[in-house]
Amino acid sequence: MTWPSTQSICTSRSDAATSQGVKRILLIEDDNDIAALLLRHLTDSGSQVEHVASGESGLARIEAESWSLVILDLGLPGIDGIEVAAKIRQTCPSLPIMVVTARGSESERVSGLDAGADDYVIKPFSMLELVARVRAIFRRLDFQEAQEGNRALIAGDLKLDTQTHAVHINGKNIALTTREFGLLAEFVAHPGKVFRRGELLERVWGTQYEGYHHTVNTHINRLRTKIELDPHSPQYIQTVWGVGYKLKS
């Protein structure tokens, strides 16, 4: 499969999927029983869901169609889910990815987030919680669409376009995932404001997930590697010890 060299096709398709009011979910899961449950509950919640059982099939569907969200199992036959997530991120940095997996160790969660996952759900899971998390992602997408009139967010050398999710630092384009962009947008929109981790979860993830404050730390670290000259001595996103994070004003 030949993948495009830019994200433009994926971005326009993703925008089309949400702007028409239709939330389209691609489910990549090789366990047919779990897939059947997810299909039923997600369809009942109002989404259009398509199921494929392998990473290769999932990548082909992402290349061919527009999607609002990808729900991805990691233990797939053929191409592993980590590799699938990384390939999606190469051309679709703003397409939300929710990992659903039995791999629950801290190192495996970090690997999934590092590969580009926006959320990480461990099997066995509550179907009600998973659907609630999907709704939270869609609320955020709807909010971003509603804010498209105020496209530009600027703080010093940082410039963000809330419609295209383009990020530039001194004119250089920076590719961010959906969560990374959401975090950076919050900081740039409120320079100097100190955000607690729970507040960032509420604003960017859409709800507070018990025990998920480490997810904020992981995403902040990934964001720093992309926008900071020296991630260990950040000039943009600074840690306020014992409290949270802020954008240097």
CB 60 within 8 A of CB 50: no
Split at pLDDT 50, 70, 90, the class of 143 is low
End-to-end CA distance of the chain: 45
Average pLDDT on 70-90 reads 90
Is the pLDDT assigned to residue 111 strictly greater than 80?
A: no
The predicted structure's pLDDT at residue 10: 61
The CATH number corresponding to 148-247 among 3.30.70.260, 3.10.28.10, 1.10.3720.10, 1.10.10.10 equals 1.10.10.10
Residue partners of 4: CB distance under 8 A and separation at least 6: 10, 91
Domain with CATH 1.10.10.10 in the chain: 148-247
What is d(CA 31, CA 13) in angstroms, rounded to the nearest whole number? 28
Question: Who wins on pLDDT, 107 or 137?
Answer: 137
- pLDDT for 153-212, tens place per residue? 888 888 998 878 889 998 899 988 888 998 999 999 888 999 998 888 888 876 655 556
Please say whether the dihedral angle defined by the alpha carbons of residues 168, 174, 175 and 179, taken in this order, is positive or negative: negative
Q: Is pLDDT larger for residue 137 or for residue 62?
A: 62
Q: What angle do CA 3, 218, 203 make, to 5 degrees?
A: 90
CA distances from 21 to 12, 32, 103, 247 (A): 15, 28, 33, 33
CA angle (82 as vertex; 76, 85 as ends), nearest 5: 105
Q: In this model, does residue 34 exceed pLDDT 80?
A: yes
**Residue/partner pairs of 163-167 with CB below 8 Å, 24 or more apart:** 164/11, 165/11, 165/93, 165/94, 167/227
User: Comparing 104 with 237, which gets the higher pLDDT?
Assistant: 237
Q: Is the pTM of this model over 0.95?
A: no
Q: What is the pLDDT of residue 97?
A: 92
More confident position, 39 or 136: 39
Among the residue ranges 6-20, 65-79, 202-216, the one predicted with the least confidence is 6-20
What token pair was written down for 193?
């404001």
DSSP 174-192: E---HHHHHHHHHHHHSTT
pLDDT for position 57: 95
11-to-166, 172, 207 alpha-carbon distances in Å = 10, 19, 25
CATH number for 8-144: choose from 3.30.1330.10, 3.40.50.2300, 3.40.50.1000, 3.30.70.260: 3.40.50.2300
Residue span(s) of the chain under CATH 3.40.50.2300 come to: 8-144
pLDDT > 70: what percent of the chain?
85
Residue 52 has pLDDT above 70, yes or no: yes
Peptide bond into 124 cis (omega under 30): yes
Residue 232 CA to residue 148 CA, distance in Å, equals 33
Cα 246 from Cα 220, distance rounded (Å): 11
Q: CA-to-CA distance for 238 and 141, rounded, in angstroms?
A: 26
Looking at residue 93, its pLDDT comes to 80
